[in-house]
Amino acid sequence: MDLPSRIQAGLSPACRSCLRDIPPGADSRLHEDELLRRLLNPIWGLFGSYPWLGSEKTALLTLSLAVSWQFIGESILFYAMGIDGIAPELLEAARMDGASWWQEIAHVIIPGILPVIGIVSLLIFKGDFTQFDIVYAMTTTSGNPAYKTDLLGSLFYRTAFASPVRGGWGLGMGAAVSTLICLVVSVGVVAWLYFFRIRNKERE
């Protein structure tokens, strides 16, 4: 993908090929989430003796960092492809007109990858509202501590499939929760479509 070759022509080929070979979150998901929980262990974890996942203040924040970690790979991949797709003539023209590095990014690259920003945001939006794997691995489906990390995905699983003792309500309630998630996701999708309609009309 020659990641940022058009922005950074000065990079050595070895460095470039090294960038290309990073698996973009190739096997994120469950495997490393368990690992994160272990890194965060207050007794022998890497980040001191603070219970990052056990405290009500930081649990959700820690969880969202792990979720970001999961999405970072594919987002970078999409952005890299988007930037690669910008016509080199455009960048060259900007350079000819004496655009600085920052101006080049702000006025050529970012407008050029707006559709990609839209797609990536939509994917993350959708992924977050159906997030389950990471919550399950890090804080279980009951949203420990004190429901602070209870996401819609874990609520769905708990209401639909857990035993009544653990907060299960049966399939009907589960279906209600999934309908709710569907509504939220549709709002996101509609917003995305609307945004793109407008963008495309502007272009025409």
Residues forming contacts to other proteins in the complex (CB under 8 A) are 1, 4, 8, 10-12, 15, 18-23, 25-32, 34-36, 38-39, 44, 46, 69, 72-73, 76-78, 81-82, 84-85, 101, 115-116, 119, 122, 126, 130, 132-133, 136-137, 153, 156, 160-161, 171, 174-175, 178-179, 181-182, 185-186, 189, 196, 200
Q: Which amino acid is at 26?
A: A
Instruction: Tell me the three state secondary structure of residue 92.
Output: helix
CB 90 within 8 A of CB 112: yes
Q: How far is the CB of 144 from other proteins (least distance, A)?
A: 13
Q: How far is CA 50 from CA 46, 135, 152, in A?
A: 10, 20, 27
Q: How far is CA 166 from CA 140, 169, 171, in A?
A: 11, 9, 14
Cα–Cα dist 21/45, whole Å: 29
Q: How far is the CB of 146 from other proteins (least distance, A)?
A: 20
Specify the residue, 93 or 189, whose C-beta has the smaller distance to other proteins: 189
Q: How far is the CB of 147 from other proteins (least distance, A)?
A: 20
Instruction: Tell me the three state secondary structure of residue 191.
Output: helix
Instruction: Tell me the three state secondary structure of residue 83.
Output: helix
Specify the residue, 23 or 164, whose C-beta has the smaller distance to other proteins: 23
Specify the residue, 60 or 69, whose C-beta has the smaller distance to other proteins: 69
